[in-house]
Structure formats: C-alpha cells, structure tokens
C-alpha cells in the first residue's frame, strides 16, 4: 500500500478532519522489528545526506496539545546522529523577533544543506494560534497562507525538501493523555493551565487547521495527516515517509578529496 498517497493532502482539496479517523491503521499490523529496521535505515540515509551536502530535509510537526510531537521526535529520530540534526521549538516570539517579519526567525532555523531540521511547531502558528486567539486581525493573517507557500517554494527550489506532518488526535484521546500526564511525576511538572484551557477552543482549532491543510498543501511541500491516537502507527508512518523522502533524493557519497592510492601511512 502506498501510505503516502493515503495520508497526503491533495493540493487544493477540501479537508474535513471529522472524516479522518485518528485511530485508523489502514490495515497495517504492528511490527516493532520492521519499525526498528526502518529506524536503522533512516540513520544510514542521514549519514549519507550529511556526506552528500546537496540537499537538506525540513520536517514540520504540528498538532494540538498532547498530539505527540515530542514523542514522535524521540521515537523516530532515535538512530540519527545529533551532529546533523537540529530541533527547534518555536515559542512566543521575543522582542527582537517581533521587530522583524514573522518568517524571519523561521528562516534562521532552516537546516543547512546536509542536515535534517525538525520544527516542533512552526511558522504555521502564525495562522493558527494567531487566528484562534485573535492576536492579529484577519486581514493580516489571511495573507500569510500565500506568503508561507512562497517561502516554502523558495526553500524547495534551493535544495530543501519539506515534509509537513499534522498529528491528528481525537478530543477523547487528548483527554486520556492529559489524565495520564497528571498522574505521572516525570511529566506533570510540564503541565500548565493554558494546556487545559486550549481544549475550550477545540472546534476553532479544527477549522483553522483545515484551512492550513487546504491552502498550504502544495506539490512541492505537501501536508500529511497522520492518525495519531495509536502512537505506534504514528511513529511507523512518519519514519516510513521520512525514509521515502531521503531515498528519493538519490543521495551518494562524494569522491575523496585526496588520491587515496598515493597516501602512505607512516
């Protein structure tokens, strides 16, 4: 089965998240051994990407609270060399960042050629939380869909492959995860009141995400809707899609910079 075809948002298509089952497995059976093989392959391809240095890979993770962004990074990137991979978590912009256009801080974090970059939340917050909480008028954020598409087109035309994953969970699963975190001393220290208060805006966020997925899924930088209620399925498909993207680059090791045949070791 072509999992990418099932999960990709066709550019310009109508998106209704209610029609996407967060528990869907597409008939895939859990196979931890096969998943670890994929993780190993990802590590090999990342090493090759780092050596090749013709391309970069940018992975964008978006989700509602408890959607699994951190868990996905831990599970999928466990075999990657940190030297060639950076994770950026975009919080509220600083005063310096606010003195520039909203994409300025994003461009600073785009991975250099040879590297993988992961955005834990991203420039899409400027058409999500900004919209939901009315931090800017509609005439401001409505322009940003086009601006974001143009920004991403510039990146892809300059060697950056972009994978955008929306980790789609149900409201019921979010509640279960919050309740589990409240009982877990290793994680409950990270909880804050805004995490719970955001649930009040669930329906508005769904509408905002639907517009993002519809307006900003392009041929060059498509969105993938990942059913995320089942963590193993989420991790499996994200890893598979990353490996597919790296394989498609046709990476190769560069030739040695010295004539090895003439090197004599003392």
- Residue 183 — left, alpha, or beta (φ > 0 → left; ψ -120 to 50 → alpha)? alpha
- Residue 19, domain extent: 3-252
> What pLDDT score was predicted for residue 258?
86
Domain membership flag for residue 50 = yes
Domain membership flag for residue 201 = yes
> What pLDDT score was predicted for residue 24?
95
Q: What is the mean pLDDT of the chain?
A: 95
Domain membership flag for residue 261 = no
**What burial letters (b/e) apply to 169-186, b meaning 16+ CB within 10 Å?**
bbeebbeebbeebeeeee
Give me the DSSP letters along 49-88: HHHH-S-EEEEEEEESTTSSHHHHHHHHSTTS-GGGEEEE
Please report, rounded to a whole number, the percentage of residues in the chain having pLDDT higher than 70: 100
Per-residue pLDDT, averaged over 211-234, amounts to 97
Domain membership flag for residue 262 = no
What gap in Å lies between CA 107 and CA 89, rounded to an integer? 14
> What pLDDT score was predicted for residue 107?
97
> What pLDDT score was predicted for residue 253?
94
> What pLDDT score was predicted for residue 101?
97
Please report, rounded to a whole number, the percentage of residues in the chain having pLDDT higher than 90: 88
Reported as a single tens digit per residue, the pLDDT across 11-39 is 989 999 999 999 999 999 999 999 999 99
DSSP state, 255?
P
**What burial letters (b/e) apply to 205-241, b meaning 16+ CB within 10 Å?**
beebbbebbbbbbbeebbbbbbbbbbbebbbbbbbbb
> What pLDDT score was predicted for residue 266?
83
Reported as a single tens digit per residue, the pLDDT across 36-75 is 999 999 999 999 999 999 999 999 999 999 999 999 999 9
Radius of gyration of the chain (CA): 20
**1 pLDDT higher than 70:** no
Reported as a single tens digit per residue, the pLDDT across 151-185 is 999 999 999 999 999 999 999 999 999 999 999 99
Domain membership flag for residue 43 = yes
**264 pLDDT higher than 90:** no
DSSP state, 254?
P
What gap in Å lies between CA 59 and CA 94, rounded to an integer? 23
Alpha helices in the chain (DSSP H): 3-7, 32-52, 69-76, 95-98, 104-108, 129-132, 138-141, 144-156, 171-182, 193-197, 202-215, 231-248
> What pLDDT score was predicted for residue 125?
97
Domain membership flag for residue 210 = yes
**263 pLDDT higher than 90:** no
Q: Residue 237 belongs to a domain with what CATH number?
A: 3.40.50.300
Q: How many domains does the chain have?
A: 1
SS3 116: strand
Domain membership flag for residue 41 = yes
> What pLDDT score was predicted for residue 199?
93
């Amino acid at each position: 089965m072509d999992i990418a075809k099932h999960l990709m948002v066709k550019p310009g298509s109508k998106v209704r998240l209610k029609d996407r089952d967060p528990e869907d497995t597409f008939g895939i059976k859990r196979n931890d051994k096969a998943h670890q093989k994929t993780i190993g392959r990802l590590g090999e391809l990342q090493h090759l990407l780092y050596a090749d240095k013709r391309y970069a890979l940018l992975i964008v993770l978006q989700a509602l609270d408890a959607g699994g962004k951190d868990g996905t990074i831990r599970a999928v990137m466990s075999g990657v060399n940190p030297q060639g991979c950076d994770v950026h978590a975009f919080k509220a912009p600083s005063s310096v960042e606010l003195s520039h256009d909203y994409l300025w801080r994003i461009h600073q974090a785009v991975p250099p050629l040879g590297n993988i970059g992961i955005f834990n939340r991203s420039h899409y917050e400027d058409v999500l939380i900004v919209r939901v909480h009315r931090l800017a008028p509609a005439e401001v954020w409505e322009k940003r869909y086009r601006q974001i598409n143009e920004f991403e087109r510039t990146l892809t035309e300059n060697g950056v492959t972009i994978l955008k994953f929306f980790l789609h969970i149900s409201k019921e699963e979010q509640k279960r995860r919050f309740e589990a975190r409240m009982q877990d001393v290793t994680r409950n220290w990270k909880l804050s009141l805004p995490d719970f208060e955001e649930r009040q805006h669930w329906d508005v966020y769904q509408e905002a995400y639907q517009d993002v997925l519809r307006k900003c899924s392009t041929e060059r930088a498509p969105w993938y809707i990942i059913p995320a209620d089942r963590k193993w399925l989420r991790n499996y498909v994200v890893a598979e899609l990353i490996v597919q993207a790296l394989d498609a680059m046709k990476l190769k090791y560069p030739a040695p910079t010295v004539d090895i045949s003439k090197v004599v070791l003392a």
